[in-house]
Structure 1
Amino acid sequence: MKFGICNETFGDWPLDKSLEYAKNAGYTGWEVAPFMLTDDIFSYSAEDRKRYRDTVLEAGFEVIGLHWLLAKTEGLHLTTDDSAVRTKTSQYLGELAKLCRDLEGKVMVLGSPQQRNLPSGQSMDSAMQNAAETLQAIVPVLEECGVQIALEPLGPQEGNFLNTAAEARQLQAMIDSPTIQLHLDVKAMSTESTPIDQLIRDNADAMLHFHANDPNRQGPGMGDVDFAPIFKALQDIAYDGWVSVEVFDYDPGVETLVTQSMENMKAALA
C-alpha cells in the first residue's frame, strides 16, 4: 500500500518542513493542490516548476499529481452552457496537465464541485454532454503529457453533479478515452447506498486513485468509518495506486492529522 498526503494539509508551513514531517510519519507520495503553488498557473514558470519538483523528489517523495483542479479560480466551469467558458476551462485544464507532467505527476483528480454544479434550469443530460465535450477537448494534451484525469464523485452535500460512482462512470464512457478514469473518496462514498468496500470492488476496473478521509471531514480513522474492510477490498482487487489522505477540517492541527491518519491506516491494514 502506497500512502500519500495532500499538500494543503500543511497550510502555511514551509515546504521543506512539511515534507520532512510527512516523511517521518511514513508518507511517500505528495499530492498537489495548484492553488498552493501560485495564483496564476500560466505564469508559474518552468524554473518555478523545476524548483518545486526537485525539492519534493530530493526529500524522498514521488509527486502523485494534482487535485482541487479548478478550486479558487474565476470564470471556469465544466458543465455550463456557455461555450466560451467551457473552452477557457479546457485550456486551463490543459495547462494543468502540463504542470502535472512538469512536476512528474501522473494523475489529476477532478472534483472542484463549485466549478461543475448545475445552475438552476439546466438538465442533467445537458450538463453531462457539456462536461464530456470540455474533457474530450483536452484528451490530446493528456496523451502528450502522459497524464490521466480521475473523475471524482462527490456526495450531495457538496453539489449536484456526479454524486455517485455510477454517474462518473457514465461520463467516463461518454468520453471513451483511457486518459479519463475514476477516483474514489471515502467521505463521498459514504453517502451512497452501496457499501464502500463493494463500490471499490464494483469499480476496480476503472479506479485510478483513492482518497482516504472520513465523513466528519478529518483523516481516515478519525471518525466512525471502519477502514479495515476498505483496505481489505483494496487488497482484494490488487489496487497498486496511491491511498492519499485528504482532509477538510483542520481543527485537530497538522501534527495530529498527519500522524494519526497514518497510525489509523496502518492499524486498519493490520
Structure 2
Amino acid sequence: MVRLAFSTNAYTRFTLTDAVRRIADHGYDGVELLADSPHAFLPEFDEDDRTRLQETIETTGLSVSNVNANTAMGYYDDAPDTSFFAPTIISDSETERSRRVTYTKRAIDLAGAVGAPAVCVATGRPEPGNPPEQAREQLMNSLHDILDHADSVGVDVGIEFEPELLIECTEEVLELLDVVNRDALGVNLDVGHAAVYGEDPAESIRQCAGHITGVHIEDIVGGRRGKHYHRIPGDGDLNFEAIFRALDDIGYDGFATLELYTYPDAPDRAARRALDALERYTA
C-alpha cells in the first residue's frame, strides 16, 4: 500500500524541525527532507543539527521517505536561474563536479542517519561547451563514485528525470539504469515531470516497475505537455486515480511524496488540501 509523505521544501519559511512537526500535525505518514538551504545545506549541517532532526523525527513518529538532494543552492548567495541545479554531477569543471559528488555522498550519510531508504538527485543541464556525449561520460563517472558510497551506507540513489536536463524522460532514465547496471541506482519518479515531457505518468510508472526508489506527486495544468508548475492535486489536470492504480498494479509499497515547493506562503494549506485530495487512494 502506498503511503503519503510531504516534502519540507514547501516550508522554506520555517526551520527544518518546525517543518517536520507541521507535516506530522497534518497526518502524513512520512516526510521528505530538503538537503539544501534553508533546511539541511550539508556543508553547514553539523552534528547538533542532525541530533535535533533525529529527535524531532522520533518524537513525531514520521518515517523519512527520501532525502532530496536535487539542488545545492546553499553554495550561492544569489544564484541565477540557469544555475538552479549547479554545481552538478555533470559539470565540465572537475572541481565543481567533485564538490557535487561529495555533497551527494553527504546526503546519503544523512539518509542513513535518519532511516531514509533513498536519496534523489538530478543530473542538471549540459553546459555550453560540454556536449551531451561528454556530459554522459561525466555522469557515469560521478554515479559510480556516488554508488560506491551508497552501497557502503545501504541507501539507494534515485535519478529524477526532468525536461531540459541531461536525463529528461522515462526512456532516458531506464537506458541510464541499464548502462550503469548498479543495484543501488533507481528512479525517483516525478509524475509531473513525466506529464510535462509529454508522457502518460501512469505508463511511466509501469515502465519503471522494479526501479522506483520514490515518487514525487504534484498536479500540472494542461496534463501532458502542460506547464511545469507544481500545483496542489485537484488544481490541475493529472489523473491521480490512474496514477495510484498504476502504483498498485506494480506492487509499489513505498511513499508518494507531495512536492509543493511552489507554496512557500501557504504550506499548511497546501499540505491539508493535498492530503484531502489524495488520501482516498491510500485507504
Q: What is the aligned counterpart of 1:257 among 247, 254, 270?
A: 270
Mapped contact 1:152–1:184 kept (Cα < 8 A):
yes
1: CA distance between counterparts of 2:15 and 2:131? 44
Matched residue type, 2:88: H
Mapped contact 1:65–1:104 kept (Cα < 8 A):
no
1: CA distance between counterparts of 2:64 and 2:180? 26
2:27 corresponds to: 26
Matched residue of 2:136: which SS? helix
2: CA distance between counterparts of 1:193 and 1:18? 33
Mapped contact 1:69–1:96 kept (Cα < 8 A):
no
Matched residue of 1:138: which SS? helix
2:226 corresponds to: none
Unaligned runs of 5+ residues in structure 2 are: 76-85, 221-228
Matched residue of 2:43: which SS? helix
2:39 corresponds to: 37
2:115 corresponds to: 104
Residue 122 in structure 1 maps to residue 123 in structure 2: no
Matched residue type, 1:149: V
Q: How far did 1:118 drift?
A: 0.7
2:82 corresponds to: none
Q: How far did 1:218 drift?
A: 1.6
Residue 238 in structure 1 maps to residue 251 in structure 2: yes
Matched residue type, 1:263: D
How many aligned residue pairs are there? 263
- TM-score, scaled relative to structure 1: 0.88
* Alignment CA distance shift 1:71-1:119 (3 Å): same
1:135 corresponds to: 143
1: CA distance between counterparts of 2:212 and 2:9? 23
Q: How far did 1:105 drift?
A: 1.7
Unaligned runs of 5+ residues in structure 1 are: none
1:92 corresponds to: 103
Q: How far did 1:144 drift?
A: 1.3
Structure 1 stretch displaced more, 165-174 or 181-190: 165-174
2:162 corresponds to: 154
Q: How far did 1:73 drift?
A: 4.3
Matched residue type, 1:169: L
Q: How far did 1:237 drift?
A: 0.9
Matched residue of 2:172: which SS? helix
Instruction: Give me the identity figure in percent.
Output: 19
Mapped contact 2:12–2:264 kept (Cα < 8 A):
no
Matched residue of 2:186: which SS? strand
2: CA distance between counterparts of 1:170 and 1:6? 28
1:181 corresponds to: 186
Q: How far did 1:207 drift?
A: 1.2
Identify the structure with bigger relative contact order (alpha carbons < 8 Å, sequence gap 6+).
2
* Alignment CA distance shift 1:42-1:97 (3 Å): same
Q: How far did 1:77 drift?
A: 2.1
2: CA distance between counterparts of 1:183 and 1:61? 20
1: CA distance between counterparts of 2:34 and 2:179? 27
- TM-score, scaled relative to structure 2: 0.85
1: CA distance between counterparts of 2:16 and 2:47? 18
Matched residue type, 2:50: R
Structure 1 stretch displaced more, 230-239 or 243-252: 243-252
Matched residue of 1:190: which SS? helix
Matched residue type, 2:247: L
Matched residue of 1:154: which SS? coil
RMSD of equivalent CA atoms: 2.2
Matched residue of 2:197: which SS? coil
Structure 1 stretch displaced more, 194-203 or 76-85: 76-85
